[in-house]
Amino acid sequence: MNQTTNGSTDTQSALPVAAPTHAHHAELWSELSRREAALVNAVAGGEDYEPLRRELVAFLRGEVLHHLQTEEMVLYNAARGAGAHALVDALELDHYSLVRLVDHIDQATTGLDAALSARALTVLFVLRIEKEEGVLVPTLTAAGVDVSTLIAGRPEMQGSDQH
Ligand SMILES: [Fe+2]
């Protein structure tokens, strides 16, 4: 680790900068985790899980899918413009799987099936966020794209602080 002229270290200066969408991802993840755990716990405890399932599906089809759809429109197009076609193809497969899992949660005929689909979706959503922040945003940044400017004025991408 070498000292630089401003007193910081090379290691410190090499730390990754948080993606501009990180705060909103954290909000979505927190809310999704809370709702998924409530559904799983109700099913495990033999309680009425239907209201929790409906609330989870409404949250997913509202805030979460709205975020993903805007992301596709804004970030994926920019990534294709930067030549990252294979990356976007992979992200679109994730998106398709997430939408299918929402349908599975909605249409499951047993609480156990709904809970298992909710858990699978939660895991996939976390991986999807990690790919966006760890691969997509750095790819765009390396191509000279200012992601903060791209998502400016889009509360569905930036979260409650930007409403
Ligand atoms: Fe995102």
Which band of pLDDT confidence, cut at 50, 70 and 90, is reported for residue 12?
very low
List Cβ neighbours of 154 (8 Å cut-off, separation of 6 or more). Answer: 70, 74, 162
Per-residue pLDDT reduced to its tens digit, 30-80: 999 999 999 999 999 999 999 999 999 999 999 999 999 999 999 999 999
Please give the pLDDT value at position 67.
Answer: 93
C-alpha–C-alpha distance, residues 108 and 54, integer Å: 12
**Spatial distance between the Cα atoms of 54 and 41, rounded to a whole number of angstroms:** 15
Predicted pLDDT of residue 2: 43
* pLDDT value of residue 152: 82
Per mean pLDDT, which range of 23-27, 59-63, 105-109 is the poorest?
Answer: 23-27
Which residues have CB less than 5 Å away from ligand 1 (the ion)? Answer: 21, 71, 132
| pLDDT for residue 16 | 56
- Looking at residue 161, its pLDDT comes to 55
Greatest Cα-to-Cα distance within the chain, rounded to the nearest angstrom: 64
Please say if the pLDDT value at position 13 is more than 60: no
Tell me the CA–centroid distance for residue 132 and ligand 1, in Å.
6
Tell me how many degrees the CA angle 68-69-70 measures, rounded to the nearest 5: 95
pLDDT at 17: 59
Q: Which two tokens stand for residue 66?
A: 């709205």
Residue 145 Cα to ligand 1 middle (Å): 16
Please tell me the predicted confidence (pLDDT) of residue 155: 79
Q: What is the pLDDT of residues 110-119, one digit of tens each?
A: 999 999 999 9
**Domain-wise residue ranges, the chain:** 65-154
- CA of 84 relative to ligand 1 center, distance in Å: 17
Euclidean distance between CA atoms 18 and 87, whole angstroms: 20
145 touches 80 (CB < 8 A):
no
pLDDT in tens, 145-158: 988 888 887 877 87
